[in-house]
């Protein structure tokens, strides 16, 4: 007998008390919890997103579509970023104003070490969740492979407001496709492993800047 | 440098008395548990529907457990359809053998690891070490534990028993033996220590070809695995290597994608007291040109089906490893994590370990007594595990023996009466109750524990209850009751 059969057999014997014919749906799950917490206008939801992102030490900027290229250029210049990795499908106009930077396009051929020598990464996102201050990346063409938002030390993530903003975790999950690789990001990485002192920035990008563009 | 081992640990009371005398450990623990406890209460209070979420979390897990075979077959099919490979392991040895073989197939001799309780439980690092494969722990706390040749003491902050200057010394002394040495002149500032870890581990992440992880959840309908973390070492291990091996307990499955809306609210708030933890990774099989191109899921039983066979004890399998129960436990606060002799410390360890391993050893028989039954653990548990109920149930099993399932077979175990196990258990009970902090807790919730009093008193009071049922319950606290009955017996 294979281990698989053995384990499944043990489970079936262990569940001898479960009436024959009971289906999973016969076990009630009451979903009377809230779908979202509180009532908000779209503007208030964006405000809450900004607040919660900032509360977990992301740096939040708000701008318009027209002013976005200038804003991104200024953020990169402010850090003295010279090499920028960008996903293949990033709208080219986002970086139109960035001068004197070398753009490295995300490809499968890019090695981990090459990526480690990059200063910043600029991406879009799939959805942003206001109640938890979370942005979610799903590796779409404007976000790229998971590793490009992990290895560089500085991540600029652009969120379209209100189109990409939802209130709650439940609404966020509904918009996401589980078949895609997903990364949920709520502030830069952190640890409290040393005497519970919170230290921001361990392995991921130590600086996370979220740019909310109001369309 | 394979790290410590739990084998041959003394029974709970001896280990607990030892750690109680360690002032540094006690101070660290008190600070830690109280800090997290207060923060958690605030994070939970933000959600008006916490009780409903908690009930839903418990119900979803019950649904899963009652139809576990169905959901495991479903998750297996979904993972394989998405390009992953699924392996089954009946026990720790088999799981270790599978992982060793999978690593060998890659031709590699080192792996990077993200913190996982399941791999600690099966002693994977030691097994890999014996097979000539070096496993690098990458979670900051696990790194501290591994470099210090030590054992974790808390689920969430495993190095909580170490203070900053100890950590500095460990880094300065040991990092060089494992890879990139600590920078010269390293101080004990936490930010500097974290930075040293970043540099030390970056080397390993960039060259790693094999990653090993656990998972917080597996979604049956989609085959998605979920890892919740803070530091980014998880993302590194899950995305940079060519091969990913995830070792996951069979109870980690949840039925649907939608179910995550419950657990992704319960877990971060209950665990790190955050609205959301910094990073959560979700992946389904493999994705072309993004992340590992080979993915293995190793499903482990290792005592879980034995636990499932016990209709009272099975609720322990609902646990989502948030560690909230540790932080409110007066006995844990005194005894420290190591006294529990397994990777699962605190109240959850007291009910899970004796079920996963059985109650034959002195240590495992003493664990159900490592509690004052104050009930605080039940109150904070985000999936409403009635830990005191299971503790009492297991005490009865230790003392009275009876039918249990051990490695899949029905077995009748003998009562521990008169055996070394019983003496260890009694000392554990006495230890737990002799400590003022434990007693305060005991008093606070005395009314609640009333229904939990065993019909026949295990331990020292047993002879006394031989002739009468335990009173149908007096309005006295467990503490008073215990002291009175024990007083009679020990005079
Ligand atoms: S038993 Fe409950 S409180 Fe304790 S770790 Fe598990 S889920 Fe958390």
* More confident: B434 or A2: A2
Structure tokens at B391: 């503790």
The confidence score (pLDDT) of residue A32 equals 97
Nearest to A200 by CA among B28, B278, B264, B158: B278
B285 close to B81: Cβ distance less than 8 angstroms: yes
What pLDDT band is residue B475 in, cutting at 50, 70 and 90? very low
* More confident: B308 or B152: B308
What pLDDT band is residue B296 in, cutting at 50, 70 and 90? very high
The H or E element that residue B100 is part of is: helix B92-106
* Mean pLDDT, chain B, integer: 84
Q: What is the mean pLDDT of residues B138-160?
A: 80
Nearest CA to ligand 1 atom 2: B381
Residue B460 has pLDDT above 50, yes or no: no
Continuous H helices in B277-408? 304-308, 324-327, 330-335, 346-357, 362-366, 376-380, 387-400
Chain A residues within 8 A of B170 when measuring between CB atoms: none
Q: What is the mean pLDDT of residues A49-74?
A: 97
Q: Which domain holds residue A154?
A: 3-214
Nearest CA to ligand 1 atom 6: B319
Ligand 1: centre distance to CA B155 (Å): 10
The confidence score (pLDDT) of residue B419 equals 66
B30-45 burial, b at 16+ Cβ within 10 Å, e below that, comes to eebbeebbebbeebbe
Question: CB B287 to CB A180 under 8 A?
Answer: yes
Could you tell me which residues are beta bridge partners of residue A85? A104, A121
Question: CB B240 to CB A112 under 8 A?
Answer: yes
Q: What is the pTM assigned to this prediction?
A: 0.90
Q: Is B250 on the interface with A (CB under 8 A)?
A: yes
Report the C-alpha gap between A169 and A184 in whole angstroms: 11
- The DSSP secondary-structure symbol of B245 reads E
- What CATH number is associated with residue A127? 3.40.50.10420
Query: Is ligand 1 within 6 A of the CB of residue B321?
Result: yes
Report the C-alpha gap between B350 and B353 in whole angstroms: 6
What's the pLDDT tens digit per position in A172-183? Answer: 999 999 999 999
Report the C-alpha gap between A120 and A214 in whole angstroms: 23
ipTM value > 0.85: yes
Domains of chain B: 12-304 (3.40.50.10420), 420-486 (no CATH)
Three-class HEC string of B398-439: HHHCEEEEECCEEEEECCCCCCHHHHHHHHHHHHHHHCHHHH
B423 close to B458: Cβ distance less than 8 angstroms: no
Question: CB B275 to CB A133 under 8 A?
Answer: yes
Chain B residues within 8 A of A129 when measuring between CB atoms: 276
The confidence score (pLDDT) of residue B162 equals 82
Of chain B, the percentage scoring pLDDT greater than 90 comes to 59
Question: CB B32 to CB A196 under 8 A?
Answer: yes
3-class DSSP state of B289:
coil
The confidence score (pLDDT) of residue B371 equals 86
Query: Is ligand 1 within 6 A of the CB of residue B384?
Result: no
What pLDDT band is residue A200 in, cutting at 50, 70 and 90? confident
Domain total in chain A: 1
Report the C-alpha gap between B464 and B460 in whole angstroms: 8
Nearest to B483 by CA among B419, B420, B439: B439
Chain A residues within 8 A of B253 when measuring between CB atoms: none
* More confident: B75 or B333: B75
């Amino acid at each position: 007998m294979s281990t698989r059969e053995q384990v499944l057999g043990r489970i079936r014997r262990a569940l001898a008390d479960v009436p024959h014919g009971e289906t999973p749906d016969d076990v009630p799950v009451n979903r009377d919890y809230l779908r979202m917490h509180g009532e908000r206008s779209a503007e208030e939801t964006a405000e809450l997103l900004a607040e919660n992102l900032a509360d977990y030490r992301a740096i939040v900027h708000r701008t318009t579509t027209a002013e976005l290229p200038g804003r991104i250029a200024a953020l990169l210049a402010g850090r003295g970023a010279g090499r920028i990795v960008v996903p293949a499908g990033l709208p080219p106009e986002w970086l139109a104003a960035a001068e004197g930077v070398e753009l490295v396009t995300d490809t499968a051929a890019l090695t981990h070490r090459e990526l480690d020598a990059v200063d910043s990464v600029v991406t879009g996102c799939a959805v942003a969740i206001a109640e938890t201050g979370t942005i979610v990346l799903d590796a779409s063409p404007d976000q790229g492979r998971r590793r490009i938002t992990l290895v560089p030390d500085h991540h600029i993530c652009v969120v379209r407001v209100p189109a990409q903003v939802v209130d709650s975790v439940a609404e966020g999950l509904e918009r996401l496709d589980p078949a895609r690789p997903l990364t949920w990001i709520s502030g830069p990485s952190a640890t409290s492993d040393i005497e519970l002192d919170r230290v921001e920035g361990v392995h991921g990008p130590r600086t996370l800047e979220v740019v909310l563009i109001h369309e | 440098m394979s790290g410590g081992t739990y084998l041959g640990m003394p029974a709970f009371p001896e280990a607990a008395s030892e750690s109680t005398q360690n002032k540094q450990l006690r101070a660290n623990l008190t600070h830690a548990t109280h800090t997290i406890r207060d923060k958690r209460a605030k994070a939970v209070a933000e959600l008006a529907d916490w009780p409903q979420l908690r009930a839903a979390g418990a119900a979803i897990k019950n649904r899963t457990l009652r139809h576990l075979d169905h959901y495991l077959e479903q998750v297996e099919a979904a993972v394989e359809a998405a390009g992953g490979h699924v392996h089954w392991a009946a026990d720790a040895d088999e799981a270790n053998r599978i992982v060793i073989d999978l690593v060998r197939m890659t031709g590699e001799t080192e792996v990077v690891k993200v913190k996982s309780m399941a791999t600690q439980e099966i002693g994977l690092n030691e097994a890999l070490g014996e097979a000539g494969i070096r496993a690098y722990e990458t979670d900051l706390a696990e790194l501290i534990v591994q470099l210090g040749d030590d054992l974790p003491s808390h689920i969430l902050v495993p190095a909580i028993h170490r203070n900053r200057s100890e950590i500095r010394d460990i880094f300065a002394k040991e990092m060089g033996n494992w890879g990139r040495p600590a920078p010269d002149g390293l101080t004990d500032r936490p930010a500097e220590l974290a930075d040293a870890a970043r540099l030390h581990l970056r080397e390993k992440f960039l060259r790693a070809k094999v990653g090993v992880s656990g998972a917080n959840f597996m979604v049956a309908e989609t085959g998605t695995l979920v890892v919740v973390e803070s530091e980014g070492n998880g993302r590194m291990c899950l995305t940079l290597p060519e091969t990913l091996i995830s070792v996951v307990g069979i109870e980690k499955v949840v039925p649907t994608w939608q179910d995550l809306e419950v657990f992704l609210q319960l877990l971060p708030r209950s665990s790190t007291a955050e609205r959301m933890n910094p990073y959560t990774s979700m992946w389904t099989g493999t994705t072309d040109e993004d992340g590992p191109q080979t993915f293995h899921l190793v499903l482990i039983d290792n005592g879980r089906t034995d636990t499932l066979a016990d209709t009272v004890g099975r609720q322990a399998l609902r646990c989502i490893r948030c560690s909230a129960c540790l932080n409110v436990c007066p006995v844990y606060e005194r005894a420290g994590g190591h006294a529990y002799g397994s990777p699962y410390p605190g109240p959850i360890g007291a009910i899970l370990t004796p079920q996963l391993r059985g109650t034959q050893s002195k240590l495992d028989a003493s664990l159900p007594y490592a509690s004052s039954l104050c009930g605080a653990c039940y109150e904070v548990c985000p999936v409403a595990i009635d830990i005191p109920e299971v503790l009492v149930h297991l005490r009865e099993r230790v003392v009275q023996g009876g039918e249990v399932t051990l490695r899949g077979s029905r077995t009748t175990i003998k009562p521990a009466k008169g055996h070394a196990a019983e003496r260890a258990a009694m000392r554990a009970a006495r230890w737990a109750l002799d400590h003022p902090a434990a007693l305060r807790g005991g008093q606070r919730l005395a009314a609640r524990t009333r229904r939990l009093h065993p019909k026949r008193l295990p331990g020292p009071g047993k002879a006394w209850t031989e002739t009468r049922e335990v009173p149908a319950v007096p309005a006295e606290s467990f503490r008073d009751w215990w002291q009175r009955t024990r007083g009679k017996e020990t005079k």
